[in-house]
């Protein structure tokens, strides 16, 4: 393990907390977006609008599932770190851990996908209302 690929436990924990907060925010946003779609569906019968609405309903489901999986992955990693801290209480301030680049990559990818979906969603909503 090189210095570039290692990180302190406190830094990993901090990043986990940040990600959890961000993911929970997205989860709340998705619930709001779903309510917005319900408002739109009650106003329109156009097949084009309803088709786009269905597309966004599917997107929200997919993003909701991705959020659930990321939260689970973060929780699993946090449990592993907690177990190490219990077994090596003195070492946690001095030992560097393998950086969780795989999990970070998943989070960054999901963030990019979610931001893009939000842009398209807001564009659709603004044209539909």
Predicted pLDDT at 1: 40
Number of domains in the chain: 1
- Provide the token pair at 78: 């946090």
Band of residue 95 on the pLDDT scale cut at 50, 70, 90:
low
% residues pLDDT > 90 (the chain): 60
- Provide the token pair at 54: 């269905």
* Mean of the per-residue pLDDT values of the chain: 88
**pTM of the predicted structure, to 2 decimals:** 0.84
Q: Name the helix (H) or strand (E) containing 6.
A: strand 6-8
Please answer whether residues 46 and 128 qualify as being in contact, where contact means their C-beta atoms are separated by less than 8 angstroms. no
DSSP, res 2: -
| Domain encompassing residue 9 | 3-128
Band of residue 2 on the pLDDT scale cut at 50, 70, 90:
very low
Q: Please give the residue that has the higher pLDDT: either 111 or 12.
A: 111
Write the DSSP string, 92-113. GGT-EEE--HHHHHHHHHHHHH
Mean pLDDT of 52-77: 96
């Amino acid at each position: 393990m090189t210095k570039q690929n290692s990180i302190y436990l406190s830094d990993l924990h901090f990043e986990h907390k940040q990600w959890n907060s961000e993911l929970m925010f997205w989860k709340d946003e998705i619930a709001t977006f779903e309510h917005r779609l319900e408002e739109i569906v009650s106003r329109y019968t156009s097949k084009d609008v309803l088709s786009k609405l269905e597309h966004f309903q599917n997107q929200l489901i997919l993003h909701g599932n991705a959020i659930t999986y990321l939260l689970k992955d973060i929780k699993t990693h946090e449990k592993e770190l907690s177990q190490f801290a219990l077994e090596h209480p003195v070492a946690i301030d001095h030992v560097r851990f393998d950086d969780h680049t795989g999990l970070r990559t998943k989070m960054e990818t999901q963030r990019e996908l979610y931001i893009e979906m939000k842009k398209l969603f807001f564009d659709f909503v603004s044209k539909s209302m």
